Structure 1
Amino acid sequence: MFGVRPFGNLSFGACPDPADWPTVFIGALEFTISTEYRIYAATEEWITGSDDIPADQPFSGALAQPLQFQRSIVGSDGFSGFVQGQGELVISNADGSYDFLPQFYALDGRDQQVRMGRADLPFRQWHVVFTGTATDSHIDETDFRISLQDYGYKLDVPLQARTYGGGGGIDGGADLAGKRKPRCLGYVSNLTPVLVRAQAQLYQVNDGPVRAVTAVYANGAPLGFAGDYSSAQELLAISIPEGRYATCLAEGLFRIRFLLDGEVITCDVEGDASGSGFAGTVGQVVRRILSLATVIADPDGLYLPSFAAYDAAYGRDCGYYADQNSSATVSEVLSLLVGFGGYIGFRRNGKLQIARFASPAGPPMMRFDDTHIRDIRREKLPSGLSPPPWRWRVGYGRNWTVQDSDVAGSVPAARRAFLKEEVRFAVAESNGVRTNHPFAQEREVGGYLRREADALAEAQALLAMHAAPASLYRLSLDAQPFGLEIGDDVLVTFPRFDLAAGRLLVVVEINENAAEDAAEIVGYG
């Protein structure tokens, strides 16, 4: 039995053994404009227990398609990025019971939740198989169809929504009116700050506190440090010695005193230090972006075990800077920060997880053999991995302002070389792969890590994983793997290909259809 709970705090229940899954489904929908209207439907007439929430609630037998849903991390380049899922559920409208709804109620944007459990178990013991929102609905003479998606839309928002007012002072002049305030995260080198007040030579690097402005440069030449001040007012009131800079870290500001005549002013920053303080690793920066730019609550909206595991294995320093002209969205920036092989997405319970794609290592979450498998197909790997790359170049040490000609004569050669290049690369390669695969590729990824050692470790890991023989397998199943998540390992045993002795695969795509009591998964390994 499946349940749909798209409203309030109603709780539904626990996942039984697949062998015991019945084909009875239940559902409830909420519609709102100025008033609330709820629908309770099931594939058979059903009623909750007196100690359930809601208690003694009858369900009609109109739920025709409890859940059809698809989610994937398979892309043309490989397995990474931002995971989004879409699907639908269907309620029968053959008797016209819901014909009136479009005239008075709206469904899009309302939370939906689908749960699964046995008919003899109370709601509170049922297992969540989907949490998300309705995006659209359509009612015709036979069906009431509800389009679903997970909470990925919550990340399709600007990295920085706050803008300058243009009224002067630290709110910028007319030239900045309506432009976005800067956002600096992690370790950022040689960024171009926003000139907020030209006459006072006042610059901003972040909309909020930062841990440090470790250096300020004029045409690549460093200025001396003249101290930190607790407020913008104090910073504007002081007299700064010639050729020096002073900061107000609490507001992400600094001032200089320098004869500006075409000089390019840049700086090195240890960025946002709001909330719990400075965030420097990839996982920490991801959480900081979520808290600053989205409605996702930290920690309640996050799958915390994934963040703990990610930082334990990949606690690598990174940096990102968005200036006043940036139009970057949260989803775009998060995809850049986790890099190739990293992915972010919402789990079935609606909580956001972060992970690195890895070869399956077990133990398996589920086991499938020819008693469960209706059909199995071996598919081609993504084009970015077939033929396999023989060389991986992972970027690090990003220079956020490339400078070639506008460099002071006093700048040493090593610094000049840094300023000329946007990104440096750590390289891992295998001539053995190139010998075995004459058309082997060269891949260039990343660019937001701080340290060469971290980039090299990443390049070596990518080379080792994708040099090993691997395939994609698409399994059509008569069981319902409604407990699997993207990234889970499964054990597949089948008398074809290299599966006869059993092979661990990592799940990279899930397609579920509750009405047909079937599912399709794609596994890599």
Structure 2
Amino acid sequence: MTNEQFLVWLQDPAAVRMVLVEALVHVAGVEVTRYLASRPFLTGPADVPANTLYEPLIVGGIGLSEQVSLTAEASLSSGDIELSNVDGELDGWLGEVWVNRTIRAWVGDPSWPRGQFQPIFNGVIADIDSASRDSVNIKLRDKLQRLNTPLTEQLLGGVTANKGALLPLLFGEGHNLAPLLTDPALQEYQFHAGQVEPGAEVRTNGKPREVDFYPERGAFRFRDAVGTGAVTVSAHGDSAGGYSNRIGPLVQRIVTGYGKASTRFTAEDLDAANFAIFDAAHSQPVGLSVTDRTNVLVACQQLAASVGAQLILSRAGLLRLIQLRLPGVGTPTMYITPEHMRERTLRPVARQEVLAAVKIGFCRNYIVQPDLQTSLPVEHKSLYSSEWLTETATDEVVRVTYRLDTEPVQIDTCLLRRVDAATEAARRLALGRAPRTIYEFDGEPEMLLLELGQDVTITYPRFGLEQGVPAVVVSLGPDWITGRCTVGVMV
């Protein structure tokens, strides 16, 4: 079924809509699949799954909430499925294990074969509970919940003082890192638990030292006595499957290669086209060193947020990277007019704070050394004495007009170059120098096909929208049974 055919069906007032759900649950030591629906549905012998009854227990469809963070922070979409339990037959389900099991949902017409139903959710069960004596509720989280697991739990082990320390990880480039002493007898240090790009600069007390380098395990050994002063290393990190210092490839590597093996994403969980487009647009070199129990989602979001981007999922459950852009920068893919809205439902719901300045922290110095007593040039000592280099973009007209302070809160990033930090500061200032209003409206069926981050043009006979203004979709609340969708746009 094409998108055009699906849209025609969504717009048909005579269409009969229903939702199918497949939920995994742990029952008496066995993983089983529960087949649920909003009305009776039996698959045919040629369907997958074949000859399967979807029990008509769902009341009112599926309540879902999708949104992008306006501050480029990781955010999990959520939802709820209410099941009828008037006769108490589902009471026993509350004693089963539903937490962190996969759940998928589709929408379609009762007359369709199973294969024509369209995916609307692919995620994780947060839990099951009961909102009343007559219902059971399945609480939903999107698949990003699977990334809420530590990057690594690999400890050094052995008998040294550092035996309980996590082995460090390095993605992209890292400057002046604190490597882990792994073997005092051999004077061996490690900065990444795995294969890295050859070449590293090791220093003690700020002065370069000669070492033997072991790129297959991200380690080095001093050729002579370590001496006094902090041991630091500047290096290129993880290169398993090929080295990269760009955001897109690093996120892909982390979500498929780190965290618990049982919850990692695979290539089939990624929107390959989206990643390719994002990588082509964002080639800025970045670096992230991890020495604690940072989880996969947080690490990936740190990388993405360096350019104001974030991780989201498509309704089919594919991972995407999107950057919240200035309205009007992208080409609008839909023109929204009053005919796409339920009457008198468009309303302003939020207004963003105006910014007169943006300060970006970049090229992190992981070991601050303010009092180096060496023969290093003064400018080098200055670099080692601060944790961050910074770049600030300021709009004096905005500062005066809005009577704002131009000393902004620093936004720390994984960027490495000043030119990229300056570009990002200017981009964020352009987004924040003017008031941005979030409008919501209850949309007609065609709004169900909108996606987060999509560029649109919105026209409405109020709020200064009369001539049509560019906007970006920032929130969606689809109701697939009624064929309505609550839409939030930023203008």
Fold match (TM-score > 0.5): yes
Q: Tell me if 1:314 matches 2:314.
A: no
- Show the counterpart of 1:25: 19
Q: Match of 1:498, SS? A: coil
Mapped pair 1:133 → 2:100: no
- Aligned residue for 1:55? 50
> How many angstroms apart in 1 are the aligned matches of 2:213 and 2:309?
36
Contact 1:216/1:265 (<8 A) preserved: yes
User: Which residue number in structure 1 is paired with residue 175 of structure 2?
Assistant: 189
CA distance in 1, matches of 2:19, 2:268: 28
* Letter of the 1:354 counterpart: L
Distance 1:48 1:15 in 2: 24
How many Å separate the matches in 2 of 1:265 and 1:432?
A: 47
Shift of 1:468: 4.2
In 2, the alpha carbon distance for the partners of 1:31 and 1:200 equals: 51
* Counterparts in 2 of 1:270 and 1:43: CA distance versus 1, 3 Å: closer
Question: Any gaps of 5 or more consecutive residues in structure 2?
Answer: none
Q: Would you say the 8 A contact 1:362–1:504 is kept in 2?
A: no
1:392 to 337, 349, 358: 358
Residue by residue, what CA displacement relative to the aligned partner does 1:153-181 show, whole Å, maximum 9, x if unpaired?
222122222111124xxxxx2x1222200
Aligned to 1:488: 454
Residue of 40, 48, 51 corresponding to 1:45: 40
Structure 1 residue 318, shift from structure 2 partner: 0.7
Q: CA deviation at 1:38?
A: 4.5
Residue pairs, 1:21-420, within 5 angstroms = 22-33=16-27, 34-35=29-30, 37-74=32-69, 78-103=70-95, 105-138=96-129, 141-167=133-159, 173=160, 175-223=161-209, 244-274=210-240, 276-294=241-259, 295-323=263-291, 326-339=292-305, 341-360=308-327, 361-365=330-334, 367-370=336-339, 372-374=341-343, 375-382=345-352, 386=353, 388-405=354-371, 407-420=372-385
> Structure 1 unaligned runs (5+)?
1-12, 168-172, 224-243
1:414-464 deviation line (CA, Å, top 9, x unaligned): 210110111111222222222332226535223321111111111122222
Question: CA 1:22/1:433 → structure 2, altered by over 3 Å: closer, same or farther?
Answer: farther
Instruction: Give SS of 2:413's match.
Output: strand
Alpha-carbon shift at residue 482 of structure 1 (Å): 3.5
* Distance in 2 of aligned mates of 1:451 and 1:196: 31
Contact between 1:211 and 1:278, CA under 8 Å: does it hold in 2?
Answer: yes
| Contact residue 493 and residue 500 of structure 1 kept, 8 A | yes
CA-CA distance at 1:365 after TM superposition:
4.6
Whole-angstrom CA distance in 2 between matches of 1:260 and 1:32: 54
SS in 2 for 1:211: coil
Q: Is the contact made by 2:21 and 2:103 (CA closer than 8 Å) also made in structure 1?
A: no
Instruction: Supply the distance in 2 between the matched residues of 1:393 and 1:432 (Cα, whole angstroms).
Output: 17
Alpha-carbon distance between aligned partners in 2 of 1:273 and 1:197, rounded to the nearest angstrom: 23
TM-score, structure 1 as length reference: 0.84
Q: Is the 8 A contact 2:199 2:236 kept in 1?
A: yes
Aligned length: 475
Give per-residue Cα distances to partners, 1:286-312, cap 9 Å, x unaligned. 222223313333422211122112211
CA distance in 2, matches of 1:298, 1:133: 16
Question: Structure 1, residues 43-69: CA drift from partner, whole Å, max 9, x if none?
Answer: 333333443212343444332132101
Cα deviation code 1:224-263 (max 9, x no counterpart)? xxxxxxxxxxxxxxxxxxxx21111111111113444432
Percent identity of equivalent pairs: 23
Contact 2:146/2:264 (<8 A) preserved: yes
Q: Is the 8 A contact 2:19 2:481 kept in 1?
A: no
Q: 1:416 to 1:522 in 2, by over 3 A?
A: same
Q: Which residue of 2 aligns with 1:455?
A: 421
SS at match of 1:286: helix
Q: How far off its partner does 1:466 sit?
A: 2.5
Give the Cα separation in 2 of the matches to 1:255 and 1:464: 48
After TM superposition, give the deviation of residue 201 of structure 1 in Å. Answer: 1.2
Give the letter for the 1:25 counterpart: V
Q: CA deviation at 1:31?
A: 3.0
Distance 1:118 1:162, change over 3 A: same
The Cα shift of 1:19 comes to 0.8
What is aligned with 1:233? none
Q: Give the Cα–Cα distance (whole angstroms) in 2 for the partners of residues 192 and 271 of structure 1.
A: 14
SS at match of 1:454: helix
* 1:506 correspondence with 2:467: no
What is the TM-score of this pair, normalised by structure 2? 0.89
Mapped contact 1:190–1:399 kept (Cα < 8 A): yes
CA distance in 1, matches of 2:320, 2:154: 26
